[in-house]
Copies of this chain bind each other. A is one copy, B any other.
Amino acid sequence: MAEHTLTHVDAPAHMFRGRPYIHEIPLERMVGHGVIIDVTEKVAVNVGYGVMVEDLLNWEAHFGKIPEGAVVIMKSGWYKKYPDPALVFGSEHWNNTETHKFPSWTIDAVEWLLSKRHVIALGVDTPSVDLRGLRALPVHDRLFRDSIIALEGVANLGAIPPCGSMIFIPPLKLYKGSGSPARIFATVPKVMHNDGHNEVEIALKDANHRFRSARMNGKIP
């Protein structure tokens, strides 16, 4: 199984020598408050949309300041397109990466999250935390410089609220892995009505695409 398929984690060693491999990242850097940035409406009019600082400020206006150590994930609705590669990569010619088109993050928004909110992980429900059509991978570069992990191909974001969840990102402990498939999941508070009292219970929500046969493992990077 390839390390960088479907729902997976990229480790900082993916691009930089001396930065942590997947087996070196402690569990404490794999769990955090979930912050889901919904840009579905913007993506509906621009499939190449990049999340901006404005979107983050808008989230904070509704839900309060993004807590330290958060796991911040872009929700574009793209996860519904999996596993068809032509839809996932936004191109009939998906073998040619230059034709790809999907939403992701702007470097300005990522810089803001790292320097002002000290997040522990950044994610997307698309194939990459970097927009395609750039000459470089500025978001990967910026994250890995600070030893921050990237989550790609996160799924089922309709089940996770904008705030209030805890997101768990347990990748396989692959020795010297540059990344790993991961069973990402969230705990979500659920208000129960019981004998006239409200009780809060925790529900578990899956955030994964299922891995298919060798066909998909081989073809989706």
A binding-site residues for B, Cβ under 8 Å: 1, 7, 23, 27-28, 31, 168, 170-175, 177, 181-183, 185, 204-206, 208-213
Residue of B nearest to A202 (CB): B31
Given contacts A185-B27, A204-B28, A210-B23, contact A172 B173 (CB under 8 A): no
Q: How far does the Cβ of A184 sit from chain B's closest Cβ, in whole Å?
A: 8
Partner of A208, one of B168, B173, B205: B173
A172 close to B181 (CB less than 8 A) = yes
Partner of A209, one of B28, B173, B206, B213: B173
Given contacts A168-B168, A170-B170, contact A212 B175 (CB under 8 A): yes
Residue of B nearest to A186 (CB): B27
Alpha-carbon separation in the docked complex, A206 to B173 (Å): 10
Alpha-carbon separation in the docked complex, A171 to B206 (Å): 12
Alpha-carbon separation in the docked complex, A1 to B205 (Å): 26
B residues less than 8 Å from A172 (CB atoms): 172, 181-183, 211
Q: How far does the Cβ of A186 sit from chain B's closest Cβ, in whole Å?
A: 10
